[in-house]
Amino acid sequence: MAGLIIIRDRPGRLWRASRREIRRAGWLRFADVVAFRAYARLRLAGRDAAWKEQAVERLRERYPADLTAVPRIVVSSPNSGAARRFMAGLRPDLAIARCKVILKREVFELPRVGTFALHPGICPEYRNAHGCFWALVNRDLDRVGMTLLRVDAGVDTGPIYLQGRCDIDEVRESHVVIQHRAVIEHLDAIGRVLLSLCRGEHVAPVDTAGRRSAAWGQPRLSDYFRWKRAAYAHHIPAVS
């Protein structure tokens, strides 16, 4: 690992994101988004945090590494001049973007091989940050998973090099747990693909010709309850 760019959000980011969502979806659906955020914080966040903590501990045992000597920088935006200069000085083979920020071309093209995203959703059908959630809501269970893609100027529109799915428990698991598991359970395969690309080996992108492409918005409470009702109906037999 050549370096870490750590993002600390500036004050006002949430308000800017809220304005974008209002423009995109309107006030009524935005209220639905806010309702889901409140519900998730009260009912889901504690259980999700406990799961994440256990998952990280398991990963530390599986992939032991001392990162204390890895150079790092803390920025408010990965598109900042400080972030670009830091990355340029490292001269990395590739970068992995684990943020929800649309990167500028002068940033994602800096690494020799490119910048890659571990997208929580199957692309191109479920682009944007909540692909797993919307696949679950739509009962499109064959497309609940993750996508390894190279970042380009679009939103999750770059070449796809790997797609992975995992077994899910819709009743007991949140969409957050499901989308994290979809990545964790394919880490070895992700590593093999990225190493092959770094070595200059040919890795054929996934052919997506003719497939539907769509970008989805923020989770909404009404859709969350619609998903869970369908999940319970599927798992619990009817009583006559």
9-60 per-position pLDDT tens digit: 876 666 777 777 777 778 888 899 999 999 999 999 999 999 999 999 999 9
45-98: pLDDT as tens digits: 999 999 999 999 999 999 999 999 999 999 999 999 999 999 999 999 999 999
Range of the structural domain that residue 191 is part of:
4-235
pLDDT at position 198 over 90: yes
86: domain CATH number? 3.40.50.170
Percent of the chain topping pLDDT 90? 83
DSSP string over 123-184: TTTTBSTTHHHHHHHTT-GGG-EEEEEE--SSSS-S-EEEEEE----TTT--HHHHHHHHHH
For the chain, how many structural domains are there in total?
1
Sorted by sequence, the CB contacts under 8 Å of residue 80 that are 6+ apart come out as: none
Provide the pLDDT for residue 21: 74
pLDDT for res 13: 67
Averaged pLDDT for residues 203-222: 94
Q: What's the average model confidence in pLDDT over 131-141?
A: 96
219 belongs to a structural domain: yes
Asked if the structure places residue 240 within a domain, the reply is no
| pLDDT number for residue 78 | 95
On whether residue 93 sits in a domain, the answer given is yes
Name the average pLDDT for the chain. Answer: 92
- Do 121 and 215 meet the contact criterion of CB atoms below 8 Å apart? no
Return the pLDDT at 25: 74
User: pTM for the complete prediction?
Assistant: 0.90
Residue 239: which pLDDT band, with cuts at 50, 70 and 90?
very low
- Please tell me the least confidently modeled range out of 25-34, 88-97, 140-149, 219-228: 25-34
Structure confidence at residue 236 (pLDDT): 58
Residue 174's pLDDT band (cuts 50, 70, 90): very high
> Quick check: is 160 in a domain?
yes
Q: What is the pLDDT of residue 237?
A: 52
pLDDT for the residue 153: 92
Give every CB contact of residue 179 below 8 A, 6+ residues apart in sequence: 120, 121, 131, 132, 133, 146
Q: What is the mean pLDDT of residues 166-185?
A: 95
